[in-house]
Structure 1
Amino acid sequence: MKRTEFLTRVSARLGRNGVPGDSPARDVVGVPEFWSQRELSERERVDRFRDNLVNLGGEVHLVSSVDELRDALSEVLGSLRIMRVGIWNDRELQELVNPVLESYEVSTWGIEPASAFVDMDLGITGAQFGVADTGTLVLSCGGGRGRSVHLLPPVHLAVLRASQIKTRLGEALQELSSHLTEIDSYVHFVTGPSRSSDIENDQSIGVHGPAAEIVIVVENL
């Protein structure tokens, strides 16, 4: 059956006469100009990211130095009684957090098999971007940045620079698309703890991913 014949039959069943024509022209493609040109200061982006993620059930710690970052990490690990930690095989991230992890059982992506991260209590990653409008983390995974680190443990903790927080998701997508020749194999957009709902709309937390999402935002790094 030809396309025109098929569409004509559908149109007739809907009570419409004639042969369907081409789709109407669109005068505007993409987001409205007033939205795409909206600018926020770094302070506003950080505050909006924090507020939106907290409203989704996440936890955000704002710190202004490496020492404060380590203090916040130590406090989180202690309060949750963490014993086993998984981490990206990322030198910059490890330099920031390794002094805190000396007394913990640590598994590093690429050194330990992926199956090891099933038994981790908490996974530590960096992030490529945060999105202020939605409280979203953008994680580009590949090489030493394995996705099992943030998907398998029940708690995910991300370290994010304030300068990495974009106002809109489109900004993050645009920057990712500008590196398509070298983009990693997997890009994950994480917006709060994992949520799943069944056919009766009963919501469960942590079924298909971490039940807790914690972000430490470093404002002067």
Structure 2
Amino acid sequence: MIGTIQNRDAFLNKLASRLGRERRTEIAKPEWNYNPQEEVLKDASQDQLVEVLKEQCKNIHTNFVLVDTNTLPSALNKVVESYGGGPIVSWKDERFAQFGLSALMKEEWVAKGISLHEWDYTKGAENIEKANCANVGITISDITLAESGTAVLFSNKDRGRTVSFLPATSIILVPKSSIVPRMTQAAKIIREKVQNGEQVASCVNFITGPSNSADIEMILVVGVHGPIKATYIVIEDL
């Protein structure tokens, strides 16, 4: 559901009045002489970004698999088997079919008795219960940050955000074309979508490997409040 802003002008006018000034309606974008955030990996090729992501996955306790579209089904099946099989929950996303995964997900797994729940917004809370009981959650990265090993997921009615953090393990498909150097480029992409009038997800998740925390005595513990294991499957789609 798209929210509607109400009484915005009255609220902002009152706020400006309390601050003792006129309300500002236009702000000039500053021009910086030096932009260090643009320099990191700026000349890296797409293949080099893949290597940076691969190395970063070692630091974030995430398995890294590189495949083409022909070997993707067998690679995905192998990762699922290594995690102990189903139940599985996934987004309802046409990209699964585009990557040639329909036969695996809707035929082979069914024949093997592996339960797969595809997110269905009409089922409401049942989706969350399925995600909560799932062993594996499968999603697709919309933007991927090589520097930090972060997958950016855009939620919508067919792509529930709980698919990425309620199951015991997480598999994120990463199109090679989605890989950018760092947060700088991701912010630009999202900003451009807004400026072009595209509907941007109300929930954008930045996920860096399995859940972890070092709150207690700075000791890193993986799998505290979400998936205990994660795999990125990078797909050669260029």
TM-score (norm 2): 0.75
Residue in 2 that maps onto 1:186: 203
Report what 1:73 is aligned to: 76
Larger radius of gyration: 1
Deviating 4+ runs (over 4 angstroms): 26-30
Percent of aligned pairs sharing the same letter: 27
- C-alpha change, 1:50 and 1:78, in structure 2 (3 Å) is same
Q: Among 102, 107, 120, which residue is 2:117 paired with?
A: 107
How many angstroms apart in 2 are the aligned matches of 1:37 and 1:44?
9
Corresponding letter in the other structure for 1:195: N
1:47 aligns with 2:64: no
SS of alignment partner, residue 70 of structure 2: helix
Matched, 1:148 2:162: yes
Residues 31 and 155 from structure 1, CA distance in 2 versus in 1: closer, same or farther, beyond 3 angstroms?
A: farther
Deviation at 1:84, TM superposition (A): 0.7
Q: C-alpha separation between the residues in 1 aligned to 2:31 and 2:200?
A: 32
Q: 1:46 to 1:37 in 2, by over 3 A?
A: closer
SS in structure 2 at match of 1:179: helix
**Superposed CA RMSD:** 2.2
Matched, 1:88 2:83: no
Whole-Å separation in 1 of the counterparts to 2:32 and 2:186: 21
* Letter of the structure 1 residue corresponding to residue 71 of structure 2: E
8 A Cα contact 1:88 1:146, kept in partner: yes
1:108-187 → structure 2 map (5 Å cutoff): 108-110=118-120, 111=123, 112-180=126-194, 181=197, 182-187=199-204
Count of residues in correspondence between the two structures? 195
Unaligned runs of 5+ in 1: 1-25
Shift of 1:152: 0.2
| Alpha-carbon distance between aligned partners in 2 of 1:94 and 1:121, rounded to the nearest angstrom | 22
Aligned runs of 1:180-219 on 2, under 5 Å? 180=194, 181=197, 182-219=199-236
**TM-score, normalization by structure 1:** 0.80
In structure 2, distance between residues paired with 1:73 and 1:127? 15
More divergent stretch after superposition (26-35 vs 139-148): 26-35
Counterpart CA distance in 2 for 1:183 and 1:127 is 15
Could you tell me how far 1:82 is from its partner in structure 2? 1.2
CA contact 1:63–1:219 (8 Å) conserved in 2:
yes
CA offsets 1:9-48 (integer angstroms, 9 cap, x no match): xxxxxxxxxxxxxxxxx99487427616822101101111
Q: Distance in 2 between matches of 1:121 and 1:77?
A: 9
SS at match of 2:85: coil
Structure 2 counterpart of 1:82, which letter? G
How far the C-alpha of 1:80 sits from its partner, in A, is 2.0
- Measured in 1, the distance between the counterparts of 2:203 and 2:31 equals 34
Amino acid at match of 2:231: I
Tell me by how many angstroms 1:60 deviates: 0.9
CA contact (8 A) 2:171 2:231 kept: yes
> Does the aligned pair in 1 maintain the 2:83–2:136 contact within 8 Å?
no
Contact 1:132–1:168 (CA<8 Å) still a contact in 2?
A: yes
Label 1:33 to 1:87 Cα distance change in 2 as closer, same or farther (>3 A).
closer
2:148 is paired with a residue of what secondary structure? Answer: coil
